[in-house]
């Protein structure tokens, strides 16, 4: 696991004090520049090269009626990603990011979909309300899949990694993981997902409680056993993606609820992973704030988004790029001949 | 004054329901697309062409010790803008916006600064704690200057107008206007500006109260008399800029504290101006929230910025562009062969 270098953060902070603005007037943009300085090991960090990978997987828990959409939508959306028609395709073009789609565990066969990574660990999880979502071996293979994809994105030149999710039912699995790993109650964590009504949400809370009761006496060894019991294949891959980012010393920008649940799994496996994570947006989904707090992160924006796919992260990328350009390109007081603050 | 066309907003809303995502999952990005649909009179609005104009002016009230920087900084920063070294220069490049700097009332002579609009109405205002900041005629000339600049930006092809400010002392004038026009108390509105300490803030509150007491028995006719008593030359120009944007039916994106005080002046002159205004960020400066509420607007981002220059607005522009591209480019359920939500 790489460590950020605080000396570069301090040098960046000193530079911020010399730029032609009142100290602190750029608010969190100043903090962003200094955060990247420590991680790129440069007083003036380079512009970010973002890569987005969407991991797709299905969830046996949909048998409990926890989603407003049928499971078939996961595979249908994989085809939509491949054709360029989904929200994340548009946003990837907007921020000039490389976009990869990985089948980590879609129920339906998507073998004939061109241009995606075919990494299916199994055809959807089992119903976590009744049994383990997957085996420990499958959980580890899902993590390894995400790790390999992070290596591929870094090898292709990415300096900012974004993982997105697609998986009907995955807010239920994520809610289970957040309750378990952030020690929170289902009532506070479960939201409306893709748009279930109040009765659906009550059913979903009940499902999460049954799953948590089922594993209540487990002795957890690390995050991969939590993942096996309560997670998802795309969630495991995303956790692996974050772990590899941290291992390689490349920052990862979190997305929303599913992404943050995945990051909690990664944190359980390796606590120092959070040194390399930055939060993008606050999801409208209940419980996202709780998960971010457990990671020690504050979101940059709150636009009431709840789509997943990496969309909230992609919307925040221009803020990061703006912060770095301001840091790099603004004149100093001395360069511009501008008077400094009174003593 | 142009009126938005709600029929196009409704057509855009119907389109959003057909895009391949759960209804509402893009949160405020959906609202943004529909808002611009009504104003561009197109179901699918075009990408925005932003223009930024920074209006500069000085403030006689600096004699009261209300700012952490000397008045000379206003003219020095005008030169920094002209050379491309200020934050707004960097951000304008980032969002590919045309940037214009207007001398609306800088105290020092900047006649030899190339590439700026020389529109000086007077060399800084009088001390508003003791007397009217400017005459009614000067206030109207400042407004006319901003109107002319909005026409120039629109003629150059802009479809989104951003006004920024530069003026040492202008948070004091803005606080006076916000207290007057939003019926708020100085304690709630006055902030630390460019970085004064607690004693400086107490002095600033006292100055604002003295100014408000001085005009307490005035019978106000319209916003231009409020501007003359308590405003600034750049504030008047910004108010005129917003009025002309609304008259021409071109949306204007507000910046922070000064921008919003200017919008309150415009609202006092012509209440319907707010139909054409959209809020960008929440300034760290106290009282910004109060001013936005009076305008009926909600900010998109909160990054604890407090720089002015149009910087908060510029940082928010990519969010608007992303919203419009999603609206234009995402596939519909029918196009993508994706199943819709359960009934």
Residue B41 sits in the same domain as residue B85: no
Which letter does DSSP use for residue B45 in this model?
P
CB atoms within 10 A of CB A98: 15
A contacts of B85 (beta carbons < 8 Å): 20, 330-331, 335-336
State the pairing for strand pair A98-105/A50-57.
Answer: parallel
Residues A162 and A278: beta-carbon distance below 8 Å = no
Element (H, E) at B162: strand B160-166
B115 touches chain A (CB under 8 A): no
Q: What's the distance, Cα to Cα, between the start and end of chain B in Å?
A: 43
| Cβ distance of A90 and B329 shorter than 8 Å | yes
Q: Is residue B342 part of a domain?
A: no
pLDDT at A340: 87
- Is residue A148 scored above 70 in pLDDT? yes
Tokens for B289?
Answer: 């929230």
Pick the residue from chain A with its C-alpha nearest to B312: A26
Radius of gyration of chain B (CA): 20
For residue A14, the enclosing domain spans 6-46+324-336
Burial environment of residue A134 by CB neighbours within 10 A (0 to 12, 13 to 18, 19 or more): buried
Mean pLDDT of all residues belonging to chain A? 97
Q: How far apart are CA A168 and CA A68, in angstroms?
A: 9
| Cβ distance of A20 and B322 shorter than 8 Å | no
A321 touches chain B (CB under 8 A): yes
| Cβ distance of A314 and B322 shorter than 8 Å | yes
pLDDT at A41: 98
ipTM of the complex: 0.97
Residue A285 sits in the same domain as residue A172: yes
| Cβ distance of A77 and B315 shorter than 8 Å | no
A202 touches chain B (CB under 8 A): no
B contacts of A330 (beta carbons < 8 Å): 85-87, 90
Q: Is residue B341 part of a domain?
A: no
Q: How far apart are CA B313 and CA B318, in angstroms?
A: 10
Nearest neighbour of A303 by CB, restricted to B28, B89, B340: B28
Block residue for tokens 């994520």? A174
Nearest CA-CA partner of B88 in A50, A29, A37: A29
Domain count for chain A, please give it: 2
Burial environment of residue B199 by CB neighbours within 10 A (0 to 12, 13 to 18, 19 or more): exposed
Radius of gyration of chain A (CA): 20
Q: How far apart are CA A286 and CA B118, in angstroms?
A: 53
- Is residue A300 scored above 80 in pLDDT? yes
SS3 content of chain B, % helix, strand, coil (to 5): 50, 10, 40
A86 touches chain B (CB under 8 A): yes
Element (H, E) at A165: strand A160-166
Q: Is residue A341 part of a domain?
A: no
CB atoms within 10 A of CB A213: 10
Q: Is residue A226 part of a domain?
A: yes
Residue B169 sits in the same domain as residue B260: yes
Minimal C-alpha gap between A113 and chain B (Å):
14
Low-confidence ranges of chain B (pLDDT < 70): 342-343
| Cβ distance of A336 and B69 shorter than 8 Å | no
A20 touches chain B (CB under 8 A): yes
Residue B332 sits in the same domain as residue B183: no
Residue B233 sits in the same domain as residue B262: yes
CB atoms within 10 A of CB A2: 15
Q: Is residue A294 part of a domain?
A: yes
Nearest neighbour of B87 by CB, restricted to A77, A83, A330: A330
Residues A65 and A168: beta-carbon distance below 8 Å = no
Residues B281 and B256: beta-carbon distance below 8 Å = yes
Nearest CA-CA partner of A56 in A236, A193, A190, A178: A236
Q: Please say whether the dihedral angle defined by the alpha carbons of residues A131, A133, A138 and A143, taken in this order, is positive or negative.
A: negative
pLDDT at B343: 58
β partners of residue A98: A51
Active site residues of A: 309
CA distances from A126 to A167, A168, B261 (A): 14, 13, 58
pLDDT at A343: 58
Residue B217 sits in the same domain as residue B277: yes
CA distances from B279 to A212, A303, B165, B251 (A): 43, 13, 16, 11
pLDDT at A100: 98
Q: Is residue A253 part of a domain?
A: yes
Q: Is residue A342 part of a domain?
A: no
Active site residues of B: 309
Minimal C-alpha gap between A260 and chain B (Å):
17
Return phi, psi of residue A340, to 5°. Answer: -90, 175
| Cβ distance of B303 and A29 shorter than 8 Å | yes
Residue B196 sits in the same domain as residue B230: yes
Q: Residue A330 is part of a domain; what is its CATH number?
A: 1.10.1610.10
Model confidence, pTM:
0.98
Q: How far apart are CA A96 and CA A80, in angstroms?
A: 19
Residue A108 sits in the same domain as residue A173: yes
| Cβ distance of B336 and A301 shorter than 8 Å | no
A contacts of B17 (beta carbons < 8 Å): none
Minimal C-alpha gap between B82 and chain A (Å):
10
DSSP secondary structure of B172-218: HHHHHHHHHHTT--HHHH---TTT--HHHHHHHHHHHHHHHHHTTT-
Block residue for tokens 């407004």? B143
pLDDT at A1: 82
A contacts of B22 (beta carbons < 8 Å): 68-69, 193-195, 306-307
A contacts of B319 (beta carbons < 8 Å): 301, 303, 315, 318
Q: What is the pLDDT of residues A286-296, one digit of tens each?
A: 999 999 999 99
State the pairing for strand pair A252-253/B117-118.
Answer: unpaired
Q: What is the pLDDT of residues A19-49, one digit of tens each?
A: 999 999 999 999 999 999 999 999 999 999 9
Q: How far apart are CA A139 and CA A229, in angstroms?
A: 9
pLDDT at B118: 98
Residue A162 sits in the same domain as residue A202: yes
Block residue for tokens 């941290």? A246
A304 touches chain B (CB under 8 A): yes
Nearest neighbour of A27 by CB, restricted to B304, B326, B329: B304
CA distances from A221 to A137, A259, A269, B213 (A): 14, 22, 9, 69
Minimal C-alpha gap between A322 and chain B (Å):
7
- Is residue A156 scored above 80 in pLDDT? yes
Q: How far apart are CA B277 and CA B247, in angstroms?
A: 12
pLDDT at B228: 98
Under 8 Å CB pairs connecting chains A and B tally to 199
Q: Residue B100 is part of a domain; what is its CATH number?
A: 3.40.50.10210
Residue B170 sits in the same domain as residue B31: no
Q: How far apart are CA B106 and CA B118, in angstroms?
A: 10
User: 3-state class of A159 per DSSP?
Assistant: coil
Nearest CA-CA partner of A128 in A113, A139, A117: A139
Which letter does DSSP use for residue B131 in this model?
S
pLDDT at A193: 87
Q: What is the pLDDT of residues B152-201, one digit of tens each?
A: 999 999 999 999 999 999 999 999 999 999 999 999 999 998 889 999 99
| Cβ distance of A77 and B338 shorter than 8 Å | yes
Q: What is the pLDDT of residues A99-145, one digit of tens each?
A: 999 999 999 999 999 999 999 999 999 999 999 999 999 999 999 99
List alpha helices for A166-310, DSSP H: 170-181, 186-189, 198-214, 223-230, 233-248, 257-269, 288-295
Q: Is residue A343 part of a domain?
A: no
Q: How far apart are CA B170 and CA A249, in angstroms?
A: 44
Tokens for B147?
Answer: 């109107």
CA distances from A252 to A56, A82, A242, B171, B311 (A): 18, 23, 7, 38, 26
Residue B317 sits in the same domain as residue B329: no
Q: What's the distance, Cα to Cα, between the start and end of chain A in Å?
A: 43
pLDDT at A341: 80
Residue B128 sits in the same domain as residue B276: yes
Q: How far apart are CA A242 and CA B304, in angstroms?
A: 28
């Amino acid at each position: 696991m790489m460590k950020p270098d605080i000396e570069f953060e301090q040098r960046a902070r000193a530079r911020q004090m010399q730029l032609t603005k009142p100290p602190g007037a750029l608010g969190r943009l100043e903090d962003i520049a200094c955060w990247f300085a420590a991680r790129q090991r440069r007083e003036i960090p380079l512009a970010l090269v973002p890569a987005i990978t969407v991991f797709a997987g299905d969830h046996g828990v949909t048998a409990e009626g926890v989603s407003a959409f049928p499971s078939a939508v996961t595979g249908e959306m994989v085809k939509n990603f491949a054709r360029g028609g989904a929200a994340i395709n548009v946003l990837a073009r907007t921020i000039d990011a490389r976009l990869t789609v990985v089948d980590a565990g879609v129920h339906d066969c998507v073998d004939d979909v061109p241009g995606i990574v075919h990494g299916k660990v199994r055809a959807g999880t089992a119903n976590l309300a009744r049994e383990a979502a997957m085996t420990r071996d499958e959980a580890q293979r899902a993590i390894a899949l995400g790790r390999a994809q992070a290596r591929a994105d870094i090898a292709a030149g990415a300096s900012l990694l974004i993982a997105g999710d697609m998986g009907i039912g995955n807010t239920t699995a994520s809610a289970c993981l957040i309750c378990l790993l952030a020690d929170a109650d289902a009532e506070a964590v479960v939201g409306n997902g893709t748009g279930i009504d109040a009765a659906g949400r009550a059913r979903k809370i009940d499902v999460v409680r049954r799953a948590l009761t089922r594993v209540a006496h487990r002795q957890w060894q690390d995050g991969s056993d939590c993942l096996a019991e309560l997670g998802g294949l795309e969630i495991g891959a995303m956790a692996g993606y974050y772990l590899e980012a941290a291992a390689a010393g490349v920052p990862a920008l979190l997305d929303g609820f599913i992404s943050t649940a995945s990051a909690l799994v990664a944190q359980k496996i390796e606590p120092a992973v959070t040194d390399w994570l930055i939060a993008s947006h606050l999801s409208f989904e209940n419980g996202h704030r709780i998960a971010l707090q457990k990671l020690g992160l504050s979101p940059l924006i709150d636009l009431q988004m709840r789509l997943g796919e990496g969309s909230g992260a992609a919307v925040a990328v221009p803020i990061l790029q703006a912060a770095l350009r301001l840091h790099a390109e603004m004149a100093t007081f001395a360069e511009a001949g501008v008077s400094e603050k009174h003593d």
